[in-house]
Structure 1
Amino acid sequence: MTGHFPFDNTYRQLPDRFFAQVEPPQSTEPGLVQLNQDLAVELGLDPVWLSTREGVKALAGNPLPSGAEPIAMAYAGHQFGHFVPQLGDGRAILLGEVINLAGERRDIQLKGSGPTPFSRRGDGKAALGPVLREYIVSEAMAALGVPTTRALAAVRTGETVYREEALPGAVLVRVAKSHIRVGTFQFFAARHDFEGVQRLADYAIARHYPELKDEAYKYRLFLEAVVSHQAELVAKWLLLGFVHGVMNTDNMSISGETIDYGPCAFMDIYNPGTVFSSIDEYGRYAYANQPAIAQWNLTRLAECLLPLDANKELALAHAQETLQQFVEQFNTAYLSGLRRKLGLFTEQEGDLALAQDLLNIMADGKADFTATFRSLCDVDDEVETDETTRTLFDEPSAFDSWYGRWLVRLRREARGISERQTAMRRVNPAYIPRNHLVEAALKAAVQENDLKPFRMLLDVLARPYESFSEFEAYARPPQPSTIAYRTFCGT
């Protein structure tokens, strides 16, 4: 453990046009809201020191910890389908990189610390509510087994941030494999700076896919690797009922991590058209659209990489084939996940139809996504009626019909009831960051200066696949009055 950040910075060594050097503004009176002690240990940091006055100041970049080389990264992006040639870190500052105890490189970034040259007239600040929201959801995703950025700390700045109202300011200390996005490649490609695209691709390969660096067609293989990781990632989202909310190309990480938790949320009632973002008026980023949008974003990455290949015709054919493979890889990962959620160990014809029929009756019957799958974990194969799960449906008779078909399928598995139930509980969480619980925790923290609900929710979400009788309220679907829900980006 160390009482400082052992920075080992590499992105800072790229040409100056890749970023802007910037100094984080000084916080008035930084105060620790929450420290992720386990993550600190993983990063080789001393959580005791980080909790001291000196450590909290370092977490706020006030003053900068020794070895930090703060930069705001340049990138472009398609936002709701419209290309913006310059975006960049408008309210985030990359302090530097550390090597964790497993030998893996990780970025440490301050989100909401103040303006940068990319702020576009914004103040670059963050309010406490959105900071705590990203902390909750990103850490919940990590516990659920979804690749994601992480939250190292939330720190009050002692300042007031003005949005629709005056709000307490805060900084999120975010950790990621890197903050390289599809939009980072677009920044250089839009300027016909293909030397910049190549430098970025070589750096990304060396950092994230080092096994490819000596391959003859490494840029083609790099595209394949990113496509594969994104197919797996988006399948995990859908299997948990997660809606990212703003799948712009500048919000897609090439490392395969979920990044930028703005207007995101988890579904309660299953509805493939679910949209949470207040700005997604036409449902571009609805739950069921996420695979197609991911493929669209990856097509934009392929366009950036094509000029790096000497044989343009073959490179185009390979890119088209790779992008088509996204569909196959996503479908394979998604169906495999549905089988696991339904307790099916073998692959048999008709499994997809069985799973899809359940989703259809869930949509028609307004059944809660998470509660339905978790309830199925408790089913005894020898009991012909599931009295518990059927109550989650407006029309229980539709579920009864499906349930009979599922029992027939289960009985073709050579596994015992206990083994099947245990396996299902490993993939069907009891606890997710339900919207009404998150909002209640944020309201208490922001309006009442009460962090107990926030911390309690974090504790529950840290073990999402276990059931605890004392946490029953955290697993319960919301009341109808709390289901209509909209999220905002918090900028």
Structure 2
Amino acid sequence: MLAPNDDTGGPVFDNSYARLPERFYVRQPPRRVAAPSLIRLNRLLAATLGLDPEARSEAEWAEVFAGNRLLPGMDPVAMAYAGHQFGNFVPQLGDGRALLLGEVIGTDGVRRDIHLKGSGRTPFSRGGDGRAALGPVLREYLVSEAMHALGVPTTRALAAVTTGEPVFRDRELPGAVLARVARGHVRVGTFQYFAARGDTEAVRVLADYVIDRLYPDVRETDAPYRELLAAVARGQARLVARWLGLGFIHGVMNTDNLSLAGETIDYGPCAFMDAYDPATVFSSIDQGGRYAYARQPEMAQWNLARLAECLLPLLAEDQDRAVELATEVINQYARWFEADWREEMARKLGLATEHPHDQRLVEDLLELMQGARADFTLSFRALAASVEGDAAELRAQLGEGNAVDQWLSRWRERLEREGAEPEAAAQRLRAANPGCIPRNHRVEQAISAAETGDLAPFEALLDAVTRPFEEDTAQGPFARPPEPGEEVAQTFCGT
């Protein structure tokens, strides 16, 4: 029987989601694990949440984040949601191996969820074992913390714990639990769950909850539900533009993985591109390339259209008018994305202003990169040295020839028209273009070592990817692309 810990002066948890009607979730405790052991506690994040890392021993934190012990106010629930998975609608998905423990208001005044993944079966498990293997837990820890360091809105990793129990996938693997943090876990699929059942009242309750929790400013507008849709669409445009600027490929952009909080959620078969190719797909389950790198903007728009369908009864009493209002927002998303993408690429080219001809400059560089199978991250990082007069690194990526010479000349002229001094431009370029990302082969190497009990590669990689713009990591071993034979062709979900 789980019981709350003694209060050690930390925050008492709340769970506003558990105060919604009972059809929104199933209340249940985590399943106890045999021998929890703390792999890592994100001490800086814990302090931001008001959780004093020193208030409990590592063994006590392991008990908490494995789900064996609840802190005061924790009220675990498995959230109900539906979703389109690779375009096919599933009317009930839900947290099959996860639990929302509750919420805390951090030292920065922000309310955030703490959510366990791998905490045991729930009524939404659909035959799964409800557990997580060590590899996917470490992948999510590495990539989500890297994304945060790269400036991407994201769920974050608070703790990783081994369970002392095996899980069985294609082979026996060590079990683990991840504690992640988010501004909210409501998804497009949460709305779809109720809309599919014709439960308009639940859609309204959920929309009001999201407005109050995440977008309180829209409450005072003349059309709060339309403005909610617009706020979510605006956030998704920024988010996907940021992904593309880093060469990130989500892998499973299903509607149950589009967060209303505008954060990247679900780090299953995600990956970063090495060689630039807009058709790149890594996810082993994305057989048709639905979520390929270049398709991510339109897939986000498709997902937003599904949210708009759920909200139609709230937008206007007249169905035609509701569709018209929703369509305006969904079309506006495309314009927002294009503006965000232009701004993102201007930053990556070291430009302080935008000009209509810059789009051609971007397209020509990407074409050169694709033709040369240039490394996405290293090519952009090399621009800083190029503006200082040393284009050797960039030419190593793009190759030699008139096309490269002409592009470099046009780009340098564009910077000169802005009056940019080389030193200032190089500083902007190094601040915009990371030198180190969680490369797929390095992540896999860290996971393989951890499965044998060696966590040193995980710790070293985590240190590097959470300092992505610093020169020592940009020049270090984790910045290098894979050697022949090290390439990772597919990534996997882990369930």
TM tier relative to shorter chain: over 0.9
Amino acid of the residue matched to residue 421 of structure 2? Answer: G
Query: Corresponding residue for 2:413?
Result: 408
1:302 to 2:308 alignment: yes
Residue number in structure 2 paired with 1:436: 441
CA displacement, residues 163-192 of structure 1 (integer Å, 9 cap, x when unaligned): 111111000001000100000000000000
**2:436–2:474 contact (8 Å) kept in structure 1:** no
Residue of structure 2 equivalent to 1:329: 336
Give deviations 1:129-171, integer Å, cap 9, x for gaps. 1000000000000000000000000001111101111111000
Given candidates 207, 210, 217, the residue that maps to 1:211 is 217
Pick from 356, 363, 372 the counterpart of residue 363 of structure 2: 356
Answer whether contact 1:278 1:486 (CA < 8 A) is retained: yes
Asked if 1:270 corresponds to 2:276, the answer is yes
Q: Are 2:422 and 1:421 aligned? A: no
Which residue number in structure 2 is paired with residue 386 of structure 1? 391
Q: How does 1:147-296 map to 2 (within 5 A)?
A: 147-296=153-302
Q: 1:116 aligns with which of 118, 122, 127?
A: 122
CA-to-aligned-CA distance 1:308-340 (integer Å, 9 cap, x gap)? 132433322121111111111101011111111
Separation of aligned partners in 2, 1:380 and 1:433: 26
Q: AA paired with 2:239?
A: L
Question: Match of 1:158, SS?
Answer: strand
Deviations 1:280-318 (A, max 9, x none): 111000000000000000000000001113243332212
Gaps of 5+ in 2: 1-6
Aligned residues between the structures? 488
> Is the CA contact 1:8–1:98 (under 8 Å) kept in the aligned structure 2?
yes
| Deviation for aligned residue 1:16 | 0.3
State how far apart, in whole Å, the 1-side matches of 2:51 and 2:212 are: 25
Q: Contact 1:3/1:50 (CA < 8 Å) preserved in 2?
A: no
Within the candidate set 456, 477, 481, 1:452 is matched to 456
* Alignment partner of 2:65 out of 54, 59, 62: 59
Q: After TM superposition, what 4+ stretches of structure 1 lie above 4 angstroms from structure 2?
A: 1-5, 394-397
Structure 2 residue 12 is the aligned partner of structure 1 residue 6: yes
> What displacement does 1:399 show?
2.1
CA distance in 2, matches of 1:78, 1:251: 10
**Map of 1:33 onto structure 2:** 39
CA 1:341/1:469 → structure 2, altered by over 3 Å: closer, same or farther? Answer: closer
Identity of aligned residues (%): 56
Q: Residues of 1 paired with 2:276 and 2:418: CA distance? A: 28
1:370 aligns with 2:377: yes
- Pick from 313, 316, 324 the counterpart of residue 320 of structure 2: 313
Q: Is the 8 A contact 1:365 1:395 kept in 2?
A: no
Structure 2 equivalent of residue 106 of structure 1: 112
- Judge conservation of contact 1:2–1:45 (CA < 8 Å) in 2: no
Q: Which amino acid aligns with 2:354?
A: E
Cα distance 1:343–1:179, how it changes in 2: closer, same or farther (>3 A)? Answer: same
Structure 1 SS opposite 2:341: helix
Please list the CA deviations of residues 79-138 of structure 1 after superposition, one character each: whole Å capped at 9, or x if unmatched.
000000000000101111111111111000110111001000100000001000000000
Tell me by how many angstroms 1:4 deviates: 4.8
1:52 deviates by 3.1
| Residues 46/67 of structure 1: CA separation in 2 closer, same or farther (3 Å cut) | same
Output the TM-score relative to the length of structure 1: 0.97
Partner of 1:136: 142
Measure the CA separation in 2 of the matches of 1:484 and 1:69. 40
Report what 1:476 is aligned to: 480
Contact 1:93 1:109 in 2 (8 A): yes
**What is the deviation of 1:47?**
0.8
Residues 5, 65 of structure 1: 8 Å contact kept: no
Asked if structure 1 preserves the Cα contact closer than 8 Å seen for 2:435 and 2:473, the reply is: no
TM-score (norm 2): 0.96
Offset of residue 208 of structure 1: 0.3
Q: Decide whether the 8 Å contact of 1:181 with 1:250 is kept in 2.
A: yes
> Displacement of 1:394 after TM fit?
5.0
CA separation of 1:325 and 1:469: change in aligned 2, threshold 3 A: closer
**Aligned residues of 1:232 and 1:330 also touching (Cα < 8 A):** yes
3-state DSSP class of the match of 1:25? Answer: coil
2:53, 2:62 → 1: CA distance?
Answer: 10
SS in 1 for 2:176: strand
1:439 maps to a residue whose letter is E
1:440 is displaced (CA, Å) by: 0.9
Determine if contact 1:362/1:369 at 8 Å carries over to the other structure: yes
Q: State the secondary structure of the residue aligned to 1:213.
A: helix
Cα deviation for residue 3 of structure 1 reads 5.4
Counterpart-to-counterpart distance in 2, 1:427 and 1:470: 13
| Structure 1 range deviating more: 357-366 or 341-350 | 341-350
Query: Match of 2:158, SS?
Result: strand
Helix, strand or coil at the partner of 1:480: coil
Give the partner amino acid of 1:66.
P
Report what 1:466 is aligned to. 470
What is aligned with 2:3? none
User: 1:259-286, CA deviations, whole angstroms, 9 ceiling, x for partnerless residues?
Assistant: 0110000000000000000011110000
Separation in 1 of the partners of 2:354 and 2:239? 22
Q: Which is worse superposed, 406-415 or 228-237?
A: 406-415
